[in-house]
Amino acid sequence: MSLGSVEIFEVGPRDGLQNEAAEIAVADKVALVDCLSGAGFKRIECASFVSPKWVPQMAGSADVLAGITRVPGVRYAALTPNMRGFEDAQVAKADEIAVFGSASEGFSKANINASIDESLDRFAPVIEAARMIDLPVRGYVSCVVECPYDGAVDPAAVARVADRLFAMGCYEVSLGDTIGGGTPDSIARMLMAVRDVVPVGRLAGHYHDTGGRAIDNIDASLALGVRVFDAAVAGLGGCPYAPGASGNVATEAVAAHLERLGYETGLDMDVIAKAADMARAMRG
């Protein structure tokens, strides 16, 4: 019996590849996205309009968006930390954008060179400009249980940032266990705080698998009503400003797990396996 559907938001071409030290050719990134486009995802994050000095691997993002073959029904997403990023994403015809904040001050400063409040001030015009052209904006909150600089993170701090992002107009808030320190207990405590301020149907779990507990954390989140999870094919990734962050939870592992539990993902496992092979070949 089906338990209903769960969506996997594929972030491999962005969150996965951004962390690779060796330069990956735009053509290889395009091939990966094109392969993923046939797997049944509704949303694929494949670009990031950030400073190339901060994240050199994402410098070719406009070329990636120009080179892919867009499949109807798939939204191709890009990170945009500020108005400059928004303008570049608009020119490149990203189908949706994302602003990315943090629940901890230490990571906020290290990742985007701003305090939490400063970052929210920067996001406001981005979200407003996107609203004017009907471009959906997703909001990320990083370090939802643990920060590599500040240690344990209070669930109330996560709820505060998630609440602000949602109130500002983000259609969904993705909760990032950036360094994979979460456990089913700490993830559940965090989610219960966030669920009080943002409807659970507007939340996504974004769990890195550093501690090997991402699948357990997804189970804890499913039990609390979360039905969208970010994952990266082949478990690519990490974050350049979060020392110790290993890859995102692997898409193929999450999809297989969800299907075993009785959820529908709408994904073609053979295509995902092929994309995972491509992703592994790209990894240095």
Per-residue exposure over 159-184, b if at least 16 CB sit within 10 Å of its own CB, e if not: bbbbbbbbebbbebbbbbbbbbbbee
Which string of x and - marks every residue 199-238 that binds ligand HMG (by CB under 6 A)?
-------x-x------------------------------
140, 204, 213, 252: which one contacts ligand HMG (CB under 6 A)?
A: 140
Q: Which does 140 bind (CB under 5 to 8 A by kind): Mg ion, ligand HMG, none?
A: ligand HMG
User: Which of 147, 141, 126, 113 shows the shortest CA–CA distance to 245?
Assistant: 147
Q: Which is nearer to ligand HMG, 33 or 79 (CB)?
A: 79
Shortest gap between Cβ of 72 and ligand HMG (angstroms)? 26
Number of C-beta neighbours around residue 117 at 10 A: 13
Q: Which is nearer to Mg ion, 10 or 15 (CB)?
A: 15
Q: Annotated active-site positions, please?
A: 239
Token pair of 254 as six digits = 């999450």
Report how far residue 272's alpha carbon sits from residue 196's, in angstroms, rounded to the nearest whole number. Answer: 35
Interaction of residue 15 with Mg ion, rule CB under 5 A: yes
Which string of x and - marks every residue 73-102 that binds ligand HMG (by CB under 6 A)?
------x-xx-xx--------------x--
3-state secondary structure of 210: coil
Q: Are 212 and 171 in contact (CB under 8 A)?
A: no
Q: Which is nearer to Mg ion, 15 or 146 (CB)?
A: 15
Report how far residue 280's alpha carbon sits from residue 113's, in angstroms, rounded to the nearest whole number. Answer: 32
3-state secondary structure of 188: helix
25's CB contacts (< 8 A; 6+ apart) are: none
Token pair of 126 as six digits = 């981005």
Q: Which does 149 bind (CB under 5 to 8 A by kind): ligand HMG, Mg ion, none?
A: none
Q: Which residue is nearest to ligand HMG (CB)?
A: 176
Interaction of residue 48 with ligand HMG, rule CB under 6 A: yes
User: In the range 179-218, which residues lie near Mg ion by CB under 5 A?
Assistant: none
Stretch that binds ligand HMG, among 31-39, 51-59, 68-76, 126-134 (CB under 6 A): 51-59
Per-residue exposure over 1-25, b if at least 16 CB sit within 10 Å of its own CB, e if not: eeeeebbbbbbbbbbbbbbbeeebe
The footprint of Mg ion (CB under 5 A) covers: 15
The contact set with ligand HMG (CB under 6 A) reads: 15, 18, 48-51, 54-55, 79, 81-82, 84-85, 100, 111-113, 140, 142, 176, 178, 206, 208, 239, 241
